[in-house]
Amino acid sequence: MSKDTFKVGTYEFSSRLIVGSGKYKDFATTKLATEASEAEMITVAVRRVNITEAGKENLLDYIDPKKYTILPNTAGCFNAEDAIRTLRLAREAGGWDLVKLEVLGDTQTLYPNVVETIKAAEVLVKEGFQVMVYTNDDPIVATKLEDVGCVAVMPLGNPIGSGRGLANPFNIRVIKERANVPIVVDAGIGTASDAAKALELGADAALINTAIAEAKDECLMAEAMCDAVRAGRKAFLAGRMPKRAFASASSPTEGYIWD
Amino acid sequence: MNILLNGEARSTTALHIADLIAELGLETRMLAVERNLEVVPKSEYLTIHLKESDRIEIVHMIGGG
């Protein structure tokens, strides 16, 4: 069997776990947990430099852009224009063309604003970005985003930071079965079994931040997520047994000593 | 000259973007600059001259999911 790699756009990875870099208590922990996750791709946010704190340490002093594929995001953007500006700046900052587009609808749910997301995706694709797009678990929208030219579609499992797992596993499967681009479950994963489930359903990868950063032991959870994604992927490739309504004996039903 | 830097009014003697970055004591590595909603390529930091009321944004990467 050829090596099972995760291909997205012109990029290729061994790991199917993408991690975020938010919410950690300090940069040292971010670095250690990211190493423990064995992820090769890490999301970052684009924000104004604090001009009164010049010379302060930066995330990228700890997360080496030569070692990791940096995936700039548009977190906090509520319209297409802001998202486009943000990613143009990210590309200028580090030369990154693989990006995570998310355009949010409101601050309470952080659900995506699909209309603005599609608008932004159309512009970014034309400008040569390789767009990995955060969206709802809606198969119709997923297809639309693929048609627009996104290199990966990333349906949410549940709201960002909620840790509630996969709300609608059937839709994740439907999205995957209809897709010709990688499907990444992004948001909602709370613990290892959620990540394994996402990959078992056929998702090509999982994007996880809060579940690792808010674990009591961040590095141990990062390892757990690494294992879970691998286990889920293997189970998906192996092809699971059918579910049955009734029992099916595991031991032979002949050769009993009382026959 | 008065500009709007990262949303705040600022008085500066900087002639161009490179001057402004130096005045702020920032390293150019992994930064990006926007002037009046247009990205300024690093190659133009010395050639683009600041003008009165320019809206400048200077951004970098931070932790995010």
Q: List per-residue pLDDT tens for chain B, 65 residues long.
A: 999 999 999 999 999 999 999 999 888 778 999 999 999 999 999 999 999 999 999 999 999 99
Q: Is A56 assigned a catalytic role?
A: no
Q: What is the per-residue pLDDT for B26?
A: 87
**CA pair distance A32, A23, nearest whole angstrom:** 14
Q: What is the per-residue pLDDT for B36?
A: 96
The answer to whether A47 faces chain B, any CB pair under 8 Å, is yes
State which residue of chain B sits closest to A92, comparing Cα positions: B32
Q: What is the per-residue pLDDT for A139?
A: 97
State which residue of chain A sits closest to B30, comparing Cα positions: A93
Handedness of CA A25, A26, A27, A31 (dihedral sign): negative
Residues A39 and A70: beta-carbon distance below 8 Å? no
**pLDDT for A55 beyond 90:** no
A222-249 pLDDT per residue, tens: 999 999 999 999 999 999 999 999 999 9
Rounded mean pLDDT, A253-258: 90
Say yes or no for a CB contact (<8 Å) between B64 and A70: no
Q: What is the per-residue pLDDT for B29?
A: 75
Say yes or no for a CB contact (<8 Å) between B31 and A93: yes
A92 closest CB neighbour out of B26, B32, B62: B32
**Residues from B in contact with A at Cβ < 8 Å:** 5-7, 24-27, 30-34, 37, 39-42, 57-65
Residue to substitute from A89, A101, A129, A208, interface B, most B β-carbons within 10 A: A89
**CA pair distance A19, B63, nearest whole angstrom:** 11
Q: What distance in Å separates residue A65's CA from the closest CA in chain B?
A: 10
Alpha-carbon separation of residue A166 from A22, A68, A171 (angstroms): 21, 27, 10
Q: Provide the phi-psi class of A133: left if phi over 0, else alpha when psi is between -120 and 50, else beta.
A: beta
Say yes or no for a CB contact (<8 Å) between B61 and A70: yes
**CA pair distance A94, B30, nearest whole angstrom:** 5
- Three-state secondary structure of A222-243: HHHHHHHHHHHHHHHHHCCCCC
Rounded mean pLDDT, A171-191: 97
**pLDDT for A162 beyond 60:** yes
**pLDDT for A192 beyond 60:** yes
DSSP state for residue A188 in the 8-state scheme: -
Q: What is the per-residue pLDDT for A206?
A: 98
Say yes or no for a CB contact (<8 Å) between B25 and A55: yes
**CA pair distance A160, A227, nearest whole angstrom:** 22
Helix A218-238 with A27-37: angle, nearest 10 deg: 20
**CA pair distance A97, A214, nearest whole angstrom:** 29
A111-159 pLDDT per residue, tens: 999 999 999 999 999 999 999 999 999 999 999 999 999 999 999 999 9
Q: What distance in Å separates residue A136's CA from the closest CA in chain B?
A: 16
A83-102 pLDDT per residue, tens: 999 999 999 999 999 999 99
Is the whole model's pTM more than 0.90, yes or no?
yes
Q: What distance in Å separates residue B6's CA from the closest CA in chain A?
A: 6
Residue to substitute from B29, B61, B62, interface A, most A β-carbons within 10 A: B61
Q: What distance in Å separates residue A144's CA from the closest CA in chain B?
A: 24
Q: What is the per-residue pLDDT for A31?
A: 97
State which residue of chain B sits closest to A24, comparing Cα positions: B63
> Which residues of B1-65 form beta strands (DSSP E)?
2-5, 8-11, 32-35, 38-40, 55-63
Q: What angle do CA A73, A58, A163 make, to 5 degrees?
A: 45
Residue to substitute from A19, A23, A49, A104, interface B, most B β-carbons within 10 A: A49
> Which residues of chain A form beta strands (DSSP E)?
6-8, 11-13, 17-19, 41-48, 69-72, 98-101, 130-135, 152-155, 184-186, 205-208
Q: What is the per-residue pLDDT for A82?
A: 96
Residue A1: band (very low, low, confident or very high) from pLDDT cuts 50, 70, 90: low
Q: What percent of chain A has pLDDT over 70?
A: 100
Rounded mean pLDDT, A190-197: 98
- Chain B residues in contact with A210 by the CB 8 A cut-off are 65
Q: What is the per-residue pLDDT for A160?
A: 94
Helix A80-94 with A114-126: angle, nearest 10 deg: 40
Polymer length of chain B: 65
Q: What is the per-residue pLDDT for A52?
A: 79
